[in-house]
Amino acid sequence: MYRFPSSSLLLASLINTNRQQAWGGINTLKKCGFVVGLCAIIFLAPGISYAACYFTQNADGTGGASSTQTPQDDYVTLPATITVPRGTAAGQSVAMNIPPLQDRRGAFCDAAFQRNYVPARALSPSTNTQMLSGVAGLELRNVINNGQAWYPWQGTGSTGSALRFPAATRTVSGLQLLVTGAVSPGRISAGLLRTVNLDTLAYSRIFLANDIAVVVPTCSVTTPSVSVTLAPVAAKDLAAIGSSAKETAFNIGLNCSGVGGNVYATLTDNTMPGNRTNQLSLATGSTAAGVALQILYGGSLVSFGADSSAAGNTNQFYVNAAANLGAGGIPLSVRYIRTSANVVPGTVRGLATFTMSYQ
């Protein structure tokens, strides 16, 4: 659901009567007999050691080092075009794919090792399990267990002693595209997302295999302000309370593209926002009395509601399927209605706002 900015229509007429580590050193000054001399300056620093981790000849992590020591690369494909309706709630998944692993090889570490997750793109400011996609309102997760859990994009994983990594133990993982806020149209680029290292061994990498075009269906109002001039009406044309006359057509312009949902609208009485009837109050500047205005859509009276695009808003009415609107609009009409036994000639002005809702 998308709320268009509230806009207004003015109805006017005249009624007439018609790991960074820094290591210090140890400086040793030594006396040699009775002669004081500088014998040695010795710097000592702890060594930094890594486990020897490597891909093995056999899938079960045995057989010595393989001749292939390149990372195990997984390419995950998501739809080339993803349409995200406006108003899609944060937390909703709009795409997910967990394909079989494409590269499974055994590995071995001969000593204690550390697993590190190194992202290739910026991460969400709120969690290291989500990566910015490059499109506002959408983030990527590295999912497992059918999307019920996920790996971090960055951090230090388990530390272990000498260990075999049989190919069969590699966890099948994939990608999920998650809504985190208002989504903007854009493009998500293919490429490397993260590398998993076992100490100095680049163990595995995950890639987004394809570019993604993100489409956000849009409907825009082409007439944010509509001024309608009604024909003059004579008192005799409004013979009794409830009688109506002088219906005048007007149009609210819309332009919808890439949309598969429905368009709804709510009209709000700007003079009396709490008005829920089908009679528009006279606005400031009116000098007439005993009359009001009514707005019709498709020949049916429209009642007024709150200025809200929420689905099910009181007196919100269905306009059409967005795909049927294209560059068209909403044809409406307005007419006078007599509301009192006494009609005072003068000017009639009415002011209503309209709020569009895409659902």
Q: What would the pLDDT profile of 251-279 be if each residue is shown by its tens digit?
A: 998 887 766 678 899 999 999 999 999 99
pTM more than 0.85? no
Fill in the DSSP letter of residue 117.
Answer: E
Please name the helix (run of DSSP H) or strand (run of DSSP E) that holds residue 245, with its range, or none.
strand 244-257
Q: Which long-range contacts (CB under 8 A, 24 or more apart) does 204-207 make?
A: 204/71, 204/72, 204/73, 204/74, 204/103, 204/170, 205/71, 205/72, 205/73, 205/74, 206/73, 206/74, 206/76, 206/142, 206/173, 206/175, 207/73, 207/74, 207/75, 207/76
Is the model more confident about 327 or about 170?
Answer: 170
CA dist 338 and 325 (Å) reads 34
Q: How far apart are the first and last CA of the chain?
A: 4
Domains of the chain: 53-215 (2.60.40.3310), 218-358 (2.60.40.1090)
Quickly state the pLDDT bin for 28 (edges 50, 70, 90).
very low
Quickly state the pLDDT bin for 2 (edges 50, 70, 90).
very low
Quickly state the pLDDT bin for 118 (edges 50, 70, 90).
very high
**Torsions phi, psi for 167 (to 5 deg):** -55, -35
Is the model more confident about 162 or about 169?
Answer: 169
Using a 10 angstrom Cβ sphere, with 0-12 exposed, 13-18 middle and 19 or more buried, the burial of residue 253 is: middle
Q: What would the pLDDT profile of 214-230 be if each residue is shown by its tens digit?
A: 988 777 788 888 899 99
Position 156 scores a pLDDT of 83
Is 33's pLDDT higher than 90? no
**Torsions phi, psi for 37 (to 5 deg):** -145, 165
Region 293-308: mean pLDDT is: 95
